[in-house]
């Protein structure tokens, strides 16, 4: 038997929070805790150390973004997936910069939420369709670094990096590029070494921060 994915649900609306927690429990997740504000989220998550924190952004006086920032700094093994009513790209951008592994809007179906939590726990970046492109486009406009700065990646490594930033799994990238799964993993590991990063979440964040587009 595999250990169930542990989750914490953070939302300031009790009915929504309890409903999401119940749905996840019924689908086999280990919902270890819930919280209604940012301070409680950080305090409780530090104690229960879930695999995934499902985080709303609108949490009253202290934004969920601040909670994301604190959790990212203190809980290396915990990933944060935003579940918000807002699909504004400025909110997505702020959450990703703070350390969120992905961003889902509340109009997502139950099946999409379950899949997103599982993929987040596995180390993937997950975005509601269209949001990754918005974030990448904003960074592209903001980017001020010269093109020749930073480590040199091969054309194929850059192509794989862009698809990682879109939230594709290694197998999906392999199918897209007509490569073997092992070849894609080799490209990912090579890129991680060149950029001195540790995992796919950091890799996706690097792509976003350097304005790589989602073409290809």
**Domain 6-129 shares a fold with domain 139-209:** no
Write out pLDDT tens, residues 37-61: 999 999 999 999 999 999 999 887 7
C-beta of residue 17 within 8 angstroms of C-beta of residue 43: no
In CATH, the number for domain 6-129 is 3.40.50.2300
pTM over 0.85: no
C-beta of residue 9 within 8 angstroms of C-beta of residue 24: yes
3-class SS at 210? coil
C-beta of residue 99 within 8 angstroms of C-beta of residue 69: yes
> Where in the chain are the domains?
6-129, 139-209
Task: Kindly state the average pLDDT of the residues 92-115.
Answer: 88
Contacting residues for 215 by C-beta, under 8 A, at least 6 apart: 162
| CA–CA gap between residue 55 and residue 7 (Å, rounded) | 10
Number of helices and strands in the chain (H, E) = 10, 6
| CA–CA gap between residue 203 and residue 164 (Å, rounded) | 8
**CATH pick for 139-209 out of 3.20.20.140, 3.40.50.300, 1.10.10.10, 3.30.530.20:** 1.10.10.10
Write out pLDDT tens, residues 72-99: 888 888 999 999 888 777 788 888 888 8
């Amino acid at each position: 038997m595999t250990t169930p994915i542990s989750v914490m649900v953070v939302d300031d609306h009790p009915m929504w929070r309890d409903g999401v927690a119940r749905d996840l429990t019924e689908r086999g997740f280990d919902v270890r805790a819930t919280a209604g504000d940012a301070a409680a989220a950080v305090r409780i998550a530090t104690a229960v150390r879930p695999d995934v924190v499902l985080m709303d952004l609108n949490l009253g006086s202290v934004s969920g973004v601040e909670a994301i920032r604190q959790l990212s700094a203190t809980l290396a093994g915990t990933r944060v997936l935003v579940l918000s009513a807002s699909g504004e790209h400025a909110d997505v951008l702020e959450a990703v910069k703070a350390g969120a592994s992905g961003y889902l809007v509340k109009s997502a179906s139950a099946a999409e939420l379950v899949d997103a939590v599982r993929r987040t726990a596995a180390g993937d970046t997950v975005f509601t369709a269209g949001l990754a492109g918005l974030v990448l486009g904003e960074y592209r406009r903001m980017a001020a670094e010269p093109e020749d700065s930073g480590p040199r990646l091969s054309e194929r490594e850059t192509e794989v990096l862009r698809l990682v930033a879109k939230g594709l799994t290694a197998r999906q990238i392999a199918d897209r590029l007509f490569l073997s799964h092992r070849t894609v993993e080799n490209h990912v590991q090579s890129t991680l070494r060149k950029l001195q990063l540790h995992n796919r979440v950091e890799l996706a964040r690097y792509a976003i921060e350097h304005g790589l587009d989602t073409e290809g």
